[in-house]
Chain A
Amino acid sequence: MEYLRLSLRNIFRHRTRSIATIMVIFLGFTAIGVIGGMVNNIFSRLKAQAIIVEKLGHLTISKEGFYLNGKMDPAKYIWGKDELREIIDVVRDDPDVEIATPRLKLFGLASNGKASSIFISEAIVPSDDERLIKTPVDNRVDLTGTVTLPQQQGEEYSVAIGSELSSMLGVGEGQFVTLLTTTVDGMANAVDVNIVDVYNTGNPATNDKFILMNFGLAQQLYDADGAERIIVTLKNSDDIEKIRARLINNIAASGHSVEVMTWNELSLFYEKVYLMFSVIFGVLSMIVTIIILLVTLNTMLMAVTERSREIGTMRAIGMQQGSVVRLFCIEGGMMAVIGCILALPLLYGISGLLTVLKVTFIPPVASAPIPIMLILGPEKLVGMFALFLTAAVFSSYLTSRNIAKKKIVDSLAHIN
């Protein structure tokens, strides 16, 4: 307690210098907080983009080898009706599973009668998809950018298409488009479908070719009564790896060999974007931490030099070397604590302002704008605080350990 009191008074002994140091820590914490909060937001939005908008769910189950060889031999990697029913039953029995829904993917040509373009189609069960898009991601349900298909009888020929594809073909809502594809055995098949929605997939790589289609229609086009994948959403995705392993075991016990992929393994860009932003954030954090370390080092070095005689006096009247170092470490640490605490209201203020202003931007590899928000996870803030505190205490330690070890008579004889 005495050391705390003494340290606090020493900090405000040279107000301008201490305030400058605290300001650097304050601004550093704010800057890293803002950047970190934005990066967290981008990660969270991309996660939601993959799970909800790209409709990957949390887990995707397929026959073993599907992702390696499925395109070359689709018939081999598609489940029949009974197999599909058995596997879905096993999956739905798992207590952590919320939704298990079958899927098919079709490729082919979409035509307006005059021009054609390639399409990729994801076939969904609309009633399951209605639930999937309401899956919370990072405790947030956000229907922005989501689209699904009508569930009513007679709406099986309704599709939603990517906005870029819609532009390319010059077709829109209420108009028809012809889809030409092949069956599972490689025979040509075609159908006219009704466009009920045009939407931005959020991904420039798919926005010019994506069509969302009814699962029943896809089965007809593909001439298959089963599915090639099962999309699974979880009640709580924190233990996703544990659940994945359990599902593989349970399905294997029912006599089926499957592979289960997580959403981030299948998302085209998430991992790359995550890595890119993590590296940028890591480098920025390191630079700011080094600046804080150097600024604190400079401040403490000046303090130590100016207070040489005082340190000598303290040592002479009984203060141990370790206590001198502790005193300076507390001073450095206190400046870090004050700087970080002062930055918190500003961080939350900026966060609130961004939420109110609804500012958006289009992140790399996305085609739709996302709101700029700060996701300030307490664990991230505590981590940043610990980093800055360590930098400040370490620089104080570096500067004070030599003066603490200096001969007392030399410290007492020091002339500023």
Chain B
Amino acid sequence: MNTNVFSNTSAPVIIELKNIVKTYYFISHEIHALQGIDLKIRVGDFIAIAGSSGSGKSTLLNIISMLDTPTSGEVYCDGEDVCTMTDKVITRFRSKKVGLIFQNYNLIPVLNVLENVAFPLQIQSVKRSECLRKAKDILSQVGLSGHLEHRPAKLSGGQRQRVAIARALITEPEVVIADEPTAALDSKTGMEIIDLMRSLNESARTTFIFSTHDPRITSCVNNVLELMDGKLQYN
């Protein structure tokens, strides 16, 4: 099976999935969310995972982002087998390698924009002044220099998602994973967010993987992985 789904095969592999199966047990039922997924994601990829609701997009992204473990199969990130790591190690590993963007932004309401963005670095015990300096830089890249002191509640949906993107990027991760980042936004703002992610991908060669079920977005992204009933469709 060709697991190198996209063209740039010379770039190093950052994430590799081997025969990933994820089964949920609900009372007496078994729900097969993922059924034997093999996938290699390379540095600099910009990938959309498409599929209808219940196709397994979020489950796949959770496993790629090391938030969940597969029922069977192997997950490698930067060559390391993440399935064998302890929670403590995997948390530290994830915070360095992966940036996360959530559908509902998941910003911390008691922190302002600047503090929200700086937070992942502060968790890593980086000096506060350094965290804030970097956060300001990234916020200017996403066009939010004028909103540093605002609390998330005072921002629009598009602005909140930009803050979430900035927060995901502050640790300079190799991969940014976004679960339906445009689902809570109108189509225009959604496209702006995708454009922003693409420009960041091109400028810093940061790998972006995101899920969507919006055909307007998949139509303007070159690399689209189609998930159906927990299986990748290679077209």
Give the interface of A toward B (CB within 8 A): 1-2, 6, 9-10, 13, 309-310, 312-321, 323, 407-409, 412
Contacts and interface: CB of A to CB of B under 8 A. Distances in A.
Interface of B: 62, 65, 67-68, 87-88, 91-92, 94-95, 100, 102, 106, 108-111, 119-120, 122-124, 128, 167, 171
A412 B109 contact: no
Nearest to A310: B108
Given A314-B108, A317-B167, A412-B102, A1 B87 contact: no
A175 to B, nearest CB: 81
Contacts of A315: 91
Contacts of A309: 106
25 contacts: A1-B128, A9-B110, A10-B110, A13-B109, A13-B110, A310-B106, A313-B108, A314-B108, A314-B119, A314-B123, A316-B94, A317-B95, A317-B123, A318-B91, A318-B120, A318-B123, A318-B124, A318-B171, A319-B91, A319-B123, A320-B92, A408-B67, A408-B68, A409-B68, A412-B102
Contacts of B87: 321
A2 B122 contact: yes
Nearest to A1: B128
B108 A318 contact: no
Nearest to A409: B68
Contacts of B123: 314, 317-319, 323
Contact of B62 (A6, A10, A310, A409): A409
Contacts of A319: 91, 123
A6 to B, nearest CB: 7
A318 B92 contact: yes
Contact of A6 (B67, B95, B111, B120): B111
Given A2-B128, A9-B111, A409-B62, A317 B68 contact: no
Determine which residue in A6, A321, A408 has the highest number of CB atoms from chain B within 10 A of its CB, and name it.
A408
A38 to B, nearest CB: 41
B120 A317 contact: yes
Contacts of A317: 95, 100, 119-120, 123, 167
Contacts of B119: 314, 317
A6 B108 CA distance: 10
B110 A409 contact: no
Given A309-B106, A319-B123, 11 more contacts: A9-B110, A10-B110, A317-B95, A317-B120, A323-B123, A408-B67, A408-B68, A409-B62, A409-B68, A412-B102, A412-B106
